Structure 1
Amino acid sequence: MKIGDRVEVVAIPKVLPDDETRALFTRCLSRHFPVADLRGHLVELEVGEAVEKPSYMHSIWIERDCVRLI
């Protein structure tokens, strides 16, 4: 996996606060996003479009095993 690759969010992390953070991750489930950055076992996705904003307005860091390359 590299920056620019498109991935599908196939799972959300089990340990998330039960607030807007969890809601954002849930809205990303089954959607496709380009990889914005990589750091260790984490992938950064710009996900603004999941909340009807420009992509760059929101980003998440998610474990690599929660996404799959498409």
Structure 2
Amino acid sequence: MKIGDRVEIVAVPASLPSGMGTQALFEACAGRVFPVAGIDNGLLELHVGEIVGDKNYMHSIWIEPDCVRLRP
């Protein structure tokens, strides 16, 4: 995968930090499609601000590639 690819979140990572709504945010993103905004240490950065009613770039998550699939 590369920056700009569109991916659908198909799984929520098993080990997420507790608190701050992290689990709820990942669950709300499941099944949605986002462009890859960055890649670092094998993780994909997705801008997900629209999920919480903000501009996309205002919130991001880092997710493992095996939790997403490429979309056209």
**TM-score scaled by length of structure 2:** 0.90
Query: How high is the sequence identity, in percent, across the aligned residues?
Result: 61
List structure 1 segments (4+ residues) > 3 angstroms apart after TM superposition.
none
Aligned pair count reads 70
Cα shift readout 1:9-43 (whole Å, capped 9, x = no counterpart): 00011011343011111110000000001123210
Q: Which runs of 5+ in 1 are unaligned?
A: none
RMSD: 1.0
Q: Which runs of 5+ in 2 are unaligned?
A: none
5 Å-filtered alignment, 1:1-70, equals 1-19=1-19, 20-70=21-71
**TM-score scaled by length of structure 1:** 0.93
Q: What code does the residue aligned with 1:27 have?
A: A
